[in-house]
Structure 1
Amino acid sequence: MYLYSSKDIKKRVINLQRFVHLHVHTEYSLLDGANRIKDLIKRVKDLGMDSIAITDHGVMYGVVDFYKEAIKNGIKPILGCEVYVAPGSRFEKRAGRGLEPSHMVLLAKDNMGYKNLMKIVSTGFIEGFYYKPRVDMEILQKYSEGLIATSACLSGEIPKALLNSDYRGAKKLALEYKNIFEEDSFYLEIQANGLEEQQIVNQQIIKLGNETNIPIVATNDAHYLRKEDARAHEILLCIQTGKTIKDDDRMRFSTDHFYVKSPSEMEELFRGIPEALSNTVKIADMCNVELEFGELHLPEFDVPKGREPSDYLKELCYEGFERRYKEEERDKYKKERLAYELSIIERMGYVDYFLIVGDFTRYAKEKNIMVGPGRGSAAGSLAAYCLGITNVDPIKYNLLFERFLNPERISMPDIDIDFCFERRAEVIDYVVKKYGKDRVAQIITFGTMAARAAIRDVGRALDMPYADVDAVAKMIPFQMGVSIDKALSINPELGLQYNQDERIKELIDTARLLEGVPRHASTHAAGVVISKDPLTEYVPLQKNDDSVTTQFSMGLLEELGLLKMDFLGLRTLTVIRDALSFIKSNYGKDIDINGLIMDDPKVFNFISEGKTAGIFQLESSGMTQFMKELEPSSLEDIIAGISLYRPGPMDQIPRYIKNKNNPNQISYKHPLLENILDVTYGCMIYQEQVMQVVRELAGYSMGRSDLVRRAMSKKKIDIMEQERKNFINGIDDEEGNIIVMGAIRNGVDKKIANKIFDEMMDFASYAFNKSHAAAYAVIAYQTAWLKCYYPTEFMAALLNSFLGSSDKISLYIYECKSLGIEVLPPDINESDVRFTVVDGRIRFGMAAIKNVGENAVKSIICERKREDNFKGFKEFLERMDGGNINKRCVESLIKSGAFDSFGVFRSRLIAVYEKMMEGISQTRKRNIKGQLSLFDAPHITDNKENYDMIKYICDEGGMYPDIPEYPSRTLLSMEKEILGLYISGHPLGEFEKEISKSVNAYSSDLSYGKPEEGEGTIVDKPTKIYDGMNVVVGGIITTKETKTTKNDNLMAFLTLEDLYGIMDIIVFPNILKRFQRLMEPESIVLVKGRVSIREEEKPKIICEEVSPLKKMVTHKLHLTLKKTHDKGLRESLICMLKFFYGDTPVYLHEEVQKDKGIMEGHYRVTLNNTILNELRQLVGEENVKIM
C-alpha cells in the first residue's frame, strides 16, 4: 500500500513552474552537503517551487526521508544520485593522474528507474569501490531503463574532457551516453556558479548540444541552503578533511554560489538560454516514483512438504509447550494464552517470522552456541517461549504478549536475540546460506553531530584555542537530547558569552547549523535484514569492510516492510560458556545453566554483600551500592533493580527499599491495585503495570492498554487528556454498547481514579519494559550463581573475555585476590593459550604475553603433548628450535616469568638466551648437513669470550652466569611491559594504606564502560565522578608522552596506574615546568586535578599539582606539659588533638605525673607541619618530640 504518494500532489501546470533544482546535495553527502532535508523542503516551498531532486554523492542514504518530507509538504520528490563513473572498468582499481572517477547525475523516472538506481548504486560499492563507489558504462547500460542522466558538474566526464581541450572526445562521450539511456533521457548540464572554468565549459556544452541534438539543462549543484551559509559549508569541509579555516591548502569551493537559488535568480542567470530552465520542469514532469510503505516482504520459511506454515508453527509450539510444562502445570489459562497468541500471530501475518527466528535459534543451540534467555518485549510471548526463542516463563513473571505484539497497533514485531560474542557470526552465516547472500545484509547506522561534538568540531575548524572551545562545550548539559538552542535557554552564562563575544557567537551559530548532521556511516552492531527477494529490489546496499550493509537505517527498513532483527553478540554469554567448560573439565559436571531454580538464598546474599564485579548488569559502582542496600531476596527484586537503576525511576529507589523492609506500611489507593503492585512493594515500575492498571480499573482491552502505554511514554498531552476521560468515564459506541467500562462504572471513586491516572502519567515516561528486565535478570542470576559456587572458574572465564583490555584484567585480578583466588603468572609447562584453572588457581595464558603469538603458543602446547613437559630452559630451546618462536618471543617469555619454575633467575636467562639460541641453531644445522661444528661457526667464535660463554652454557649440565636476580621493581616492570599489568606483585602494594588515606577517587571510578555491560568496581565506597570535579588520585606513572603546543611549549600526557586500573593525566606546560622531576615513568605520586569528561571518551584528569607518595613510618608524638604552663593549656591542647584527628598516637607527659601518658589509641592525630607548628607555639618547641 502507499502511505505517501506523489499522486496526492496536484498535477503541475507547466507554465506556472519556471525552474526545478535537479542537482542538490543534502546532509547525506556526508560532511559535504549542508542542506538538512527538512530545511531544504521548507525553503523550496517558501520559494514557491513545487518539485526538487536529491542527488547525494554516490549514496542514497537520504532518499526515503526526503521523499516522505517532500510529500508531507506538498512538494514533488525527484529521487536521484550523483554517481561516480570509473574511467574504464569498475573492476580496474588503480590510482594516478587521469584515473579519478567522474561524476554523473542520475534521476529516477519511475519505479523501475528507482529500482535500477538502487542496483547501480549498490554495484558501485560492492564491485567498484576504490576510494569511492564507482560504476562504469557496462552497469549504466545494463540498468538504464527508467533513468534520466545529466553530464553533472565540472567533475563530470564530459566537462573534464572539454577543460582538457578534447572537444572530440567530449562529443564522443555525449553520443555514447545518449545511446545508453532511453530517448530524451540524457541531458548536458550547465551551471552558473561564478567559476571561470564553468563559463568555458558552458559555452562548449551549448555548442555540443546543438551539434548532437542533446538537450541542455540548468542546475546549481546546491550544497547549502542560502548564500550566507557558505561560511558554514567551508567549516564543514574543514571538518571532513581535518583542516582549519586558516589552512591555505584546504579543500574549498571558490565561490559562494552553491546554494538553493530562487527561480528568479536562475532566470536572471540563464536569461539567454530559456530552454535550459524549461527542461528542468520537463524532467520533473517525467519523474514520478511512488515509494511503497507498509507492505511486508518477509521471506517464506521452507516448511516440510505438504504442510502449511501456520499448522507447522502450531505443531512446534505445542511440542514446546509440553517440554516447558509438566502435565499438572498445563492449566486452562496457559492453553488459552498460547492459542490466543498463535491466532494473533497468524492474523497479523507473522507466522513465517516466528518460524525463521525459531529456526536459527534452534540451529545455534544445536551447534552449542550460547543463546540468551531473551531481550526486549519478545520475552512476554508464550509462543516464543515454547518455540525456544526465549527462556523466560512469561506466565511466571506476569509478562504481557501485547507489549510485544498488539493486534490493535499494526507494527512489525521485534525479536532481538543475544548470542555468544565469539560465535554470533556463525548464526548470521547460517541465515545467509539459507536465504541467499543477495537477500541478507547488515544494517547501516549514522553517527550525528551532537551539540557538544558540533561545538568541538567547529572550534577545531575555526582554529580556536582548545580551552575556549572546551569551556563552551561544557556549558551544554551532558545529557541526551539537549540541543544548543536549549542550552542557550537554560544556561545564562552561555547566553552571556554568546551575546558578548563575537568569536563565541560565530562558534555557536555555525555549530547550530551543523548540529544533528550525519557525520559518518557505520554498521549497526546487531541489525540484520532478510528479504524474500534480492534486497536491491527494496534498498540500496554498500560494503563496510567485508560486510554488506543497507543504505537505509533500521526504522526505514521496517517502514518499507522488510524483516529486521538484532543478532547481538553478548560477552557475558561467552563468559558463561567458558565457565561451564572449566567446571566440566575440573569436576566432570554438566550444568544446565538454563535449568537453575532461581531462588537460592546463598546467591542473593552474595549479591547483597556487593560481590558483583563481573556480574551482568549489577557490577557498576552505583548498582553495587543499590544491591547492598536493597538486599535482594528474589529474582523479582533483581528485575526491579535493573528497571529502577536509571535516570527518572531512580528516585523511586528509597521508597522501594523502605516498602520492601516494611511491607505492613504499604498502602494502595484502591484495592484493585494490590494484585498489580504487590510484586514491586506498591511502587509502579514497569510499563506492563501501566497496562494492567487501565485494564483492571477501567476495563481496557489488552491491545488498547498498550496504546495508552505508548501515548503516555511519549508524553502526548492532547491524547492523554482524552484518554483520562476514557479511563474515568469509559467509552460507549453510537448504539450505547460499552467499549471501555471506565473506572467510575467499575466502582472506583472519580477523585481516586484521577490521582491514579496522574501517578501513571508521571511515571509512564520512565517506566521500564519488564520483559526485557526479566530476561536480563536471568543472566544476572546465572552469572552470580556461577561466581558464588564456582568463583575460580567464573573469574578465569571473565578474564578470558577481556584479554585485550589490561585495564579490565587488572580490575578482575584484584577481584580474584579479594576472593582469595590466586592468579599465577604464565608458566611454560602449565599455561594454555588463554587463562586456565589449575588446582583451584588461575593460570595466566601465554597468548596474553606481548610478542608471543597464538601460533607460537599452540606450537609450545603441541610439543608438550608430543613429548611431555619441558625440563629446563636449554631443553625448551632445543625442542622448539625451528618452530614458531624467535628471539623476541623467548625474551618476552623470560620477562613474563614463564620459565621461573626452572629455578633460574630471569637476569641469567636474559644474559644468555640469544647466544644459546644461536648455538642450538648452529648445532641443528651441523647435524642436518654434517658439515660444521658448532664451535667452528665464525660469527660465534670470532672472540674468546663468546666461545667460552657458548661452550659453558651449552655443555650438558653447564651452569648459567653467576649474576644476581633483578631487583623486585625491575621484575615487576618487566611484567608490566610484557603482560600489560603486574602479576606477581604490585609496586603500589606497600603503599596501599597511604593511597587509601590520601585519595578521593580511583581508576575504577573513572572507567568508561559500555552501558550494557556495566562498569566494574572493587572499591568499597565508589565515588560518583562528574565533569570539573576536584580529585586526588595516586599511583605509579607507567607512560609519559610529551607534545609541543602551538606556542612551542611542552605539555605531557601521563598514564597513572593504581591498584584497580589506569588513568589518563593531561599536564599543561605551566604545570609541567613546576613538577617535571616528579613526572618520570616508575615514579609513585599523588596527583591533584580536575576531571574532564567528553562524549564517548574515558574521563581524564587535568593535572594541577603533583607530589611524591611516601611510605608512612609509624611515629609516636610525645608532648610534655610542665608545671609552669597555664592551667587552661591542657584543655586547649586536647581540643587541638581532637581537631587534627588521625593515625599517629599521642603520648602526653605531665611533670606532676611523670611519664604517665595518654595511651595509644586514646588520642591520635594527623602528623603534618601545620599541627607541629601549632603545638610548638602552644607548649614550646622543646616539649614536642616525634619518636
Structure 2
Amino acid sequence: MFLNVHSSYSLKYGTQSINQLIATARHLGVHQMVLTDINNSTGAVEFIRECYKQGIAKEADEIHKGNIPYQIKPVAGIEFRIDNRLLYVGIAKNREGMRELNEFLSYHNIYNIPLPELPPEMKNVYIVYPFQKTFSQELKANEYVGIRAKQLNFLYKHSLLKQKEKLLVWHPVTVSNKITYRLHEYFRAIELNTLLSKVPDEQKCDLDEFLISESELIRQFDQYPFIVQNTQQLLDSCDLSIYFENSPVPSSKNKFYYTGTLDGDKQMLRELAASGLKYRYGENNPEAVARLEKELRIIELKNFCAYFLITYDIVDYAINNCGFYHVGRGSGANSMVAYCLRITDVDPIDLDLYFERFLHEKRTSPPDFDIDFSWDERETIQRYIFGRYPEWHVAFLGTMSTFKDRAIIREIGKVMGLPKEEIDSFTDPTKEKENLGNKTYQKLLAVHHYMKNMPNQRSIHAGGILISEEPITYYTALDMPPKGFPTVQWDMYEAEAIGYEKFDILSQRGIGHIREAVQLIQKNKGKSIDIHDFPTFKNDAKLNRILKEGQPIGCFYIESPAMRQLLKKLKCDNYLTLVAASSIIRPGVASSGMMKSYIERYHAPDKVVYLCDVMKQQLAETYGVMVYQEDVIKVCHYFAGLDLADADILRKAMSGKYRSKLAFDELVNKFFASARMEGHSEELITEVWRQISSFAGYSFSKAHSASFAVESYQSLYLKTYYPMEFMVAVLNNYGGFYSRWVYVNELQKTGAKVHLPCVNHSDEVVNIQGKEVYLGFIGIQGLEEKNIKIIPTERRSNGPYLDLEDFVKRTGISLEQAIILIRLGCLRFTGKDRKTLLWDVHNYLGFKQKKINGAELFKLSYKTYQLPELVDSALENAYTELELLGYPLNHKMFDFLKTRYRGDVMAADLHKHLGKTIRMVGNYVCEKTVHTIKNTKMWFGTFLDANGDFFDTTHFPNATPIYPFKGKGCYLILGKVVEDFGFQSIEVLKFAKLDIQLNPVAIN
C-alpha cells in the first residue's frame, strides 16, 4: 500500500536505512511497499534482496510461534524531482521496467539534460503523479494519480472522479518519528546551506510521512474503497522477485565471453598463453608447461577466461597502441597465465607463488587484477575501455561517502547558527572534556548520534570499472561525475552482493618517473633502455650495493624514512629480501612486533628455533616468521594437510573477508582434525594455530610485495646509471614521498647544473640537455597557467626573445605576471639585474594603453632613462626564490641562519659517535607522529645536514614539548647517537628552531 518510500539513500532527505525500513514494516504487519528514492536507484536491489532474506530468516521463527509467516513483497522505482519539486514517481512492473527507469534517469544525468515535466513512454513502468486540486492532465494507460488521505475532501466534484480507476493511495514515507523528523530538518538545512529556522516548509517532508499499519491506512480511505482496490491491483501486478538469488554467492554479472563464445575464449587464451610461455621461459621448461596447464584447467573450469582476456586486451592496447608502461600487481601476480600474457612482470615460479592465492576450484568470485598506469596516462586507458564496450555495459564503480565525526559537528554547528570560533572549539580534541559540560555541545552530540555514518553523497571509486554481460541499468541508474565517465550509484560492496567484480585501473606517480626517465635517457643520451629486463636488474651488484646503503631517494616504495631505515637494518642487497621488506613495512606487521622478530632472525639465522621440520622447510626463506599471506597457505597445506583451496579460504576468513561464521568454524575444526591426522601433537597444533591466527589479519600478499619490488628495482636502476634524467623525471611527475625541494637537492647532488627558470631556455616542465637543467614554469607560485604555456610555445614558434620589450609584446603578459618572472631572474638573459628590469617593465606595462588589434606596421621604441645603481642582494634573491619556488635553489636553508654554526657532527660520521651526546644542525625534511602504548605522542623526524646528507631523529614524549616541530627551517638538535641493527639515529634531548636573518626588503 505504500507507493512512495524514501530510504537514507534519498540523500539529505530520507532518515532510515533499508534494514530499518524493513524491520519497521514487519513490526507493523506491512505486506507490500515500494522503495522510491529521490533521483536514484542506489538501494533498489539491496531493498529487494533484504526483504526476501529477512522473510526467509523469520519464517521458521514465525511458524514456531504459531503465526502464519509472511513475506514483505518488495517493489522498486524512482521518485523524480527538479529542485525538490516532485514531478512524478515511476514504479517498475518488472525487471524491464527497472531498466527503463534507470536508463531514463541515466540519460538525463549523463547528458546533463533537465528532467521533463512529463516522462516518456515506458511500457513496463507505472507513472504516478501527485494530486492537485486543478489536476486536468490526460492520463495514459500506465499513468495514475496518488492522493493523500488529507486531500480526499478535494475530490468532491473533481474531474478525476470520472477516471476512478486512476486514483491510488498515496502515503509517502520519509521519517519514523518526531526525532527523525528533526533529523530530516537538519539534513534539509545542510543541503540548502541555510539555518534550521530558514528552511522553507516546501523543502521539507510532511510531519505524517512515516509508516503506519496497513489497516490504519485502509481505514483512512474507507469512504473510497475503490482507491484502495486500485492500489492493491497495481502492486499485485508488479514482480521483481527475479532480482533475489537465494544463494550465498550471486551469479556473475560480468561479461561472459570476450570472443562471443566459451570455446572461442578457451582457444584464444590458450594460444596467447602458449606464445607468452615461450617469451617468458623459452622453448623447453617442463615445470612451466605443467603449471600453465594446471592454471588453464582451473580458469576454464571456473569460466574466467573472459576476465583474463579482457585484462589482456587492456594491457595489450596500452603496450602496443600507446607505448605505455604498466604494473600488474595484487594477487594477480600469483598467476603464470597473467605473467605469460604480460599482465604482470612477476615470475611466480621464481618466487614460489601459489596460484591458489589467486584462484582455485572452490573460489566463487572472479579473480582480481590491479593494473597501474602512470598518473597522466590512466585516463587514456579508461577512455579506451569505455569506447570498447557498448553503452550501458561499462561504468565506473561508485562510492558512498558518509557523515564523519568532525565534519558532522561542523555541518550541524553551521545550521544551528553557531559562530566559527565556537564550532572550532567543538572540533578541537584537546577540549573534549571541557565541551562535555556545554549544553550546546550536548545538543550537537545528540544530532551527531543519529547522523553519524549515514550516507552523505555519491562519488566515484578510485579505479574500479564494471564491464557487464547485460545492461548495467537492470541494477542501477548511472551518474556523470566531473571525471566524465558514467558511474553506477552503488559501491563495491553492493556490486559484490549483486554479482559484479571490478577491473581496477589505477595510477601512481612511480610509473611516470620510470616512463619519462626512459624517454629522457633516449633523448639526452641516445640510449634505449629495456625497462622490462628485470632479471638483469635484480642481479646487478651495483644496484644491490646502493640498495644496501638505504639512500634510494626518488625510487618507488623504498624512499620513505621508514623504508630507508629498514633497508639499512636488513642490509638489504637482493630481490628476495626487498620483497620481504615491502611486506613487513606494512603497519599491521610492524606494530605486531613481527618486523622486529624478522630483523633479529635475519641477522642470526643459525639461532632460529623452528617449531618442527615442516615449519622449517616451509618458512626457511623467512626465518620461521610468516611474512606473507602465502605463508599462511603453505602452513595450512603442508603442516595441517588442508588442500590449497581450503587453505586459501581459511587465510581469507582470518583476514576478516569471510561472512559465514559457521563455515569458518567448520574450517578451523577441519584444520585441527587434519593436523592430528598428520601426526602432530596437540600442543604443537595449538601453537601453530596461534601463530597463524595472530598473523593472518596483518598479512600481505607476496605477489603484491613482489610487484612493488620489481618497480623499485626499475627505479633504482634508472637512478643508479642515469641519475640526472631520473631525478628530472621525478620532478616532472610531481615527486613522491618528499617535498619538491628534496628532489631538486638530490638532482644537484648528481652533478647537474640546475638553473632557475629562464624564458629563453625553460619549458612548462623541467628540461635537461647534457648536464644543463632548467627548472620549468610549472612550480612558480602565482604564475598563471596560460603564461606557463604561452612563454615556451611562442619561443618555440618564433625564436628566442630578444629583450624585455620583445618578450612583453610577444607574450601579451600583464605587469603583475611579468614582475613575478623578473623577481625570480627569468629574464636574466637580457644582461640586466632584476631591479633594473623591474624599473623598465613599468615603462612598458605600468600604465593602461589602448590595445591595438593586429600587428604593428612600424616598430616603436620606448623612451629610456638613466637609473641610479641598483644593487642585488644574494640574501634578498634567496628569499625571493623561497617565496616563488618554495625553496632556495642557489642557496641552502642554512644560508638564512643568523649563526654560522653547522653542528659538531655530520650525518656521514654518526657511526663514529655511538652512545655519545652530540649537537647537530638539520634542515627539516618531514616528520611522523605516532601514539605510544600509554596513548602519548612521540615523533620521528628526518633532516638534511649542511652537506646534504639525511639523518633521522626520535622524539620521546618526556623529552619534547607538546609539539616540537615549527615548520620548515633549520633546527639545533642535542641528542644521543643510537644504533639499531646498523642504522644510526639521534634520540633527541633538546630541540629548537634556529633564528634566521631578516629579508633585506623587509628591513628597508
- Common topology (TM > 0.5): yes
Q: 5 Å matches for 1:874-889? A: 874=804, 877-878=805-806, 881-883=809-811, 885=813, 887-889=815-817
- 2:644 is the counterpart of 1:644: no
- The one of 872, 879, 897 equivalent to 1:991 is 897
Q: Would the aligned equivalents of 1:374 and 1:389 in 2 still touch at CA under 8 Å?
A: yes
Q: 5 Å matches for 1:414-429? A: 414-429=368-383
Matched position secondary structure for 1:235? helix
- The one of 774, 796, 806 equivalent to 2:728 is 796
Equivalent residue number for residue 379 of structure 1: 333
Matched position secondary structure for 2:729? helix
> Structure 1 residue 698: deviation in Å?
2.5
Deviates more, 1:250-259 or 1:555-564: 250-259
> Structure 1 residue 825: deviation in Å?
0.5
Task: Report Cα offsets for 1:179-212 as digits up to 9, x if no partner.
Answer: 1x43xx52333255xxxxxx5x862598343133
* Structure having the higher Rg: 1
Matched position secondary structure for 1:223? coil
- 2:634 is the counterpart of 1:692: yes
Equivalent residue number for residue 655 of structure 1: 597
Distance 1:260 1:237 in 2: 20
Distance 2:153 2:525 in 1: 83
> Structure 1 residue 341: deviation in Å?
0.8
Q: Would the aligned equivalents of 2:339 and 2:345 in 1 still touch at CA under 8 Å?
A: yes
Deviates more, 1:505-514 or 1:104-113: 505-514
Equivalent residue number for residue 75 of structure 2: 78
Q: 5 Å matches for 1:934-953? A: 934=860, 950-952=862-864
Deviates more, 1:304-313 or 1:49-58: 304-313
1:884/1:325 CA distance change after superposition, 3 Å: farther
Matched position secondary structure for 1:431? helix
State the one-letter code of the partner of 1:704.
Answer: D
Equivalent residue number for residue 89 of structure 2: 105
Equivalent residue number for residue 569 of structure 2: 629
Distance 1:512 1:995 in 2: 54
State the one-letter code of the partner of 1:723.
Answer: L
Equivalent residue number for residue 616 of structure 1: 556
Equivalent residue number for residue 17 of structure 1: none
State the one-letter code of the partner of 2:20.
Answer: D
1:719/1:188 CA distance change after superposition, 3 Å: closer
Equivalent residue number for residue 907 of structure 1: 835
Q: 5 Å matches for 1:968-979? A: 968-979=874-885
State the one-letter code of the partner of 2:148.
Answer: I
State the one-letter code of the partner of 2:330.
Answer: G
1:380/1:470 CA distance change after superposition, 3 Å: farther
Distance 2:261 2:688 in 1: 54
Equivalent residue number for residue 673 of structure 1: 615
Q: Would the aligned equivalents of 1:456 and 1:473 in 2 still touch at CA under 8 Å?
A: yes
Equivalent residue number for residue 50 of structure 2: 69
- 2:391 is the counterpart of 1:407: no
Distance 2:477 2:797 in 1: 54
- 2:191 is the counterpart of 1:240: yes
> Structure 1 residue 975: deviation in Å?
3.5
Cα root mean square deviation, aligned: 4.0
Count of residue correspondences = 920
Distance 2:608 2:276 in 1: 40
Distance 1:646 1:23 in 2: 48
Structure 2: unaligned runs, 5 residues or longer: 56-71, 904-918, 931-939, 945-949, 974-991, 999-1004
1:1016/1:880 CA distance change after superposition, 3 Å: farther
Task: Report Cα offsets for 1:467-498 as digits up to 9, x if no partner.
Answer: 7766776769xxxxxxxxxxxxxxxx989987
Distance 1:1001 1:813 in 2: 14
Identical-residue share of aligned pairs (%): 26
Task: Report Cα offsets for 1:764-816 as digits up to 9, x if no partner.
Answer: 1111122112111211222233223332222211111128x998323433444
Equivalent residue number for residue 718 of structure 2: 786
Q: Would the aligned equivalents of 2:894 and 2:970 in 1 still touch at CA under 8 Å?
A: yes
> Structure 1 residue 250: deviation in Å?
9.6
Equivalent residue number for residue 580 of structure 1: 518
- 2:926 is the counterpart of 1:1004: yes
> Structure 1 residue 565: deviation in Å?
0.5
- 2:671 is the counterpart of 1:747: no
Matched position secondary structure for 1:846? coil
Q: 5 Å matches for 1:820-899? A: 822-849=753-780, 860-861=791-792, 869-870=800-801, 872-874=802-804, 877-878=805-806, 881-883=809-811, 885=813, 887-899=815-827
Task: Report Cα offsets for 1:216-236 as digits up to 9, x if no partner.
Answer: 333332222223222222222
1:430/1:629 CA distance change after superposition, 3 Å: same
Equivalent residue number for residue 909 of structure 2: none
Deviates more, 1:686-695 or 1:637-646: 637-646
The TM-score normalised by the length of structure 1 is 0.71
State the one-letter code of the partner of 1:309.
Answer: D
Q: 5 Å matches for 1:95-174? A: 102-130=86-114, 134-137=115-118, 140-143=119-122, 145-152=123-130, 159=132, 162=133, 167=134, 170-171=135-136, 173=137
State the one-letter code of the partner of 2:729.
Answer: A
1:1034/1:964 CA distance change after superposition, 3 Å: farther
Distance 1:205 1:806 in 2: 73
State the one-letter code of the partner of 2:479.
Answer: Q
Matched position secondary structure for 1:961? coil
Distance 2:262 2:687 in 1: 57
Distance 1:689 1:221 in 2: 55
Matched position secondary structure for 1:521? strand
> Structure 1 residue 724: deviation in Å?
3.5
1:667/1:903 CA distance change after superposition, 3 Å: same
Distance 1:902 1:388 in 2: 53
Matched position secondary structure for 2:145? strand
1:986/1:218 CA distance change after superposition, 3 Å: farther
Equivalent residue number for residue 311 of structure 1: 267
Distance 1:501 1:306 in 2: 67
> Structure 1 residue 696: deviation in Å?
0.8
Deviates more, 1:785-794 or 1:881-890: 881-890
> Structure 1 residue 50: deviation in Å?
2.7
Distance 1:376 1:31 in 2: 37
Q: 5 Å matches for 1:1027-1176? A: 1030-1034=962-966, 1057-1058=968-969, 1109=995
Matched position secondary structure for 1:142? coil
- The one of 39, 46, 56 equivalent to 2:27 is 46
> Structure 1 residue 532: deviation in Å?
3.6
Equivalent residue number for residue 1050 of structure 1: none
Equivalent residue number for residue 238 of structure 2: 287
Equivalent residue number for residue 454 of structure 2: 517
Distance 1:745 1:541 in 2: 54
Equivalent residue number for residue 913 of structure 2: none
Matched position secondary structure for 2:490? coil
Distance 1:963 1:436 in 2: 71
State the one-letter code of the partner of 1:831.
Answer: S
1:281/1:617 CA distance change after superposition, 3 Å: farther
Q: 5 Å matches for 1:685-834? A: 685-714=627-656, 719-729=663-673, 742-802=674-734, 808-817=739-748, 822-834=753-765
Distance 2:797 2:179 in 1: 76
State the one-letter code of the partner of 1:46.
Answer: H
Q: Would the aligned equivalents of 1:711 and 1:719 in 2 still touch at CA under 8 Å?
A: no
> Structure 1 residue 423: deviation in Å?
1.3
Task: Report Cα offsets for 1:357-400 as digits up to 9, x if no partner.
Answer: 11120110113443333221111110011011111101111222
State the one-letter code of the partner of 2:609.
Answer: S
Structure 1: unaligned runs, 5 residues or longer: 1-19, 86-98, 153-157, 193-198, 477-492, 730-741, 936-949, 954-959, 1009-1013, 1036-1056, 1061-1084, 1087-1105, 1113-1187
- 2:949 is the counterpart of 1:965: no
- 2:547 is the counterpart of 1:603: no
1:893/1:286 CA distance change after superposition, 3 Å: same
Matched position secondary structure for 1:287? coil
Distance 2:289 2:404 in 1: 50
Distance 1:670 1:274 in 2: 79
State the one-letter code of the partner of 2:467.
Answer: I
Task: Report Cα offsets for 1:820-872 as digits up to 9, x if no partner.
Answer: 655321123322221122443532013444565666566654665567655x5
